[in-house]
Amino acid sequence: MNILLTGPNGFVGARIRDALTVIPAPSLRTLGEDEVRRLVDRAEPDVIIHTAAVSDIGACAADPEGSRRANVDLPLWLVGTGVKCVLYSTDQVYSGFGEGGPFREDEISPANLYAEEKLEMERRALELNPDTVLLRATWMYDMPRYGSPNRGNFLVNLLRAGGGEIALSSTEMRGITYVREVAEHMKEAVSLPGGVYNYGSGTDRSVMELGRLLAEEAGLRITIREAGPRRNLWMDTGRLNAAGIVFRSSAEGLRQCCLDYSLGR
Ligand SMILES: NC(=O)c1ccc[n+]([C@@H]2O[C@H](COP(=O)([O-])OP(=O)(O)OC[C@H]3O[C@@H](n4cnc5c(N)ncnc54)[C@H](OP(=O)(O)O)[C@@H]3O)[C@@H](O)[C@H]2O)c1
């Protein structure tokens, strides 16, 4: 199967390249619709995995025009080529709920521009081609990667706080996913039937409990203090599981990551 991967040097894309044989797309930042179509025609893919995006909530709010082009127009141009697309969306579509969960795919409440754009992209992509797969990803983590930009993530944030303190919430429920597992499951995700899927680890532990577990597994000397109430971005992964893709729980994923990198040993 020929897979064209957008964003191959990004946080998720770089790990997908490690896990799958793909055709890495060049940067799409400055391309127009016709150029995107020509690029896809030349690559002759069976599937497009699209990870390129403006994935930072603050960056979207600061540049609504740029983020609409990246997060709505660009994925729709790809879907418009007629090739089956697997597009990344986000658990931020649940950001308006406050508490409660875990949330199913049809229970949405976006509370920021980034989430609104991703939702619009999901809806219009499915209208254009019902075979499109939309993956609502959780917050993902990994160790920094040689030669790649190092953005903050749950693991890196705790490592950076080592010896000091960090504030986490004892009531916040959200899945946090090891990005290597996200990449591994893309082998199966490219064959999912069209539709929207909550894509990542579930959890039965609060973010504070996950932080404590990680600190213990990684041998971090760190003080974790109460951050107070936060929004629950807690996803129900039943639909994904029924389709045959089952992630480790957030706790198991953190343990696996510590084992893989020999953290704390
Ligand atoms: N990281 C997370 O925890 C997380 C959580 C939930 C959902 N997601 C979603 O998962 C997907 C992958 O996330 P990620 O963290 O891998 O993203 P990322 O590393 O921030 O960005 C991926 C790539 O997007 C390209 N890009 C940046 N700005 C662009 C623009 N204006 N137009 C076109 N391309 C642009 C860049 O590639 P070039 O430099 O080659 O152009 C970049 O390497 C995104 O759709 C994101 O919304 C991520």
| CA 221 to ligand 1 centroid distance, Å | 32
Under the banding of pLDDT at 50, 70 and 90, the label for residue 150 is confident
Predicted confidence (pLDDT) at residue 25 exceeds the cutoff of 90: yes
Domain presence at residue 154? no
Under the banding of pLDDT at 50, 70 and 90, the label for residue 162 is confident
Can you tell me the mean pLDDT for 212-232? 95
Please give the pLDDT value at position 98: 86
- What CATH number did the domain enclosing 98 receive? 3.40.50.720
pLDDT per position as a tens digit, 82-126: 999 999 999 999 999 989 999 999 999 999 999 999 999 999 999
Is 238 in contact with 182 (CB distance < 8 Å)? Answer: no
Domain presence at residue 29? yes
pLDDT per position as a tens digit, 51-82: 999 999 999 999 999 999 999 999 999 999 99
Please give the pLDDT value at position 78: 98
Please give the pLDDT value at position 149: 79
| CA 55 to ligand 1 centroid distance, Å | 5
| CA 180 to ligand 1 centroid distance, Å | 16
Chain mean pLDDT for the chain? 97
Please give the pLDDT value at position 64: 97
Identify which has the larger pLDDT, 146 or 165.
Answer: 165
Please give the pLDDT value at position 148: 82
Predicted confidence (pLDDT) at residue 206 exceeds the cutoff of 90: yes
Domain presence at residue 217? no
Under the banding of pLDDT at 50, 70 and 90, the label for residue 147 is confident
Domain presence at residue 11? yes
Question: For the whole model, what pTM was predicted?
Answer: 0.98
Q: Which atom of ligand 1 is nearest to the CA of 139?
A: 3
The residue nearest atom 18 of ligand 1, judged by CA position, is 10
Domain presence at residue 44? yes
Domain presence at residue 88? yes
| CA nearest neighbour of 157 among 147, 137, 173, 142 | 142
Domain presence at residue 63? yes
**Hey, which of 39, 55, 94, 120 would you mutate to test ligand 1's pocket, going by the most ligand atoms within 8 Å of its Cβ?**
55
Number of domains in the chain: 1
- Helix 207-218, helix 250-260: angle, nearest 10: 20
Domain presence at residue 113? yes
Residue 120 belongs to domain spanning = 3-139+182-199
Under the banding of pLDDT at 50, 70 and 90, the label for residue 187 is very high
Distance CA 81, CA 171 (A): 44
- Write the CB contacts of 21 (distance below 8 Å, at least 6 apart in sequence): 3
Enumerate residues lining ligand 1, CB below 6 A. 7, 9-13, 27-29, 51-55, 66, 70, 74, 88, 90, 137, 139-140
Please give the pLDDT value at position 164: 95
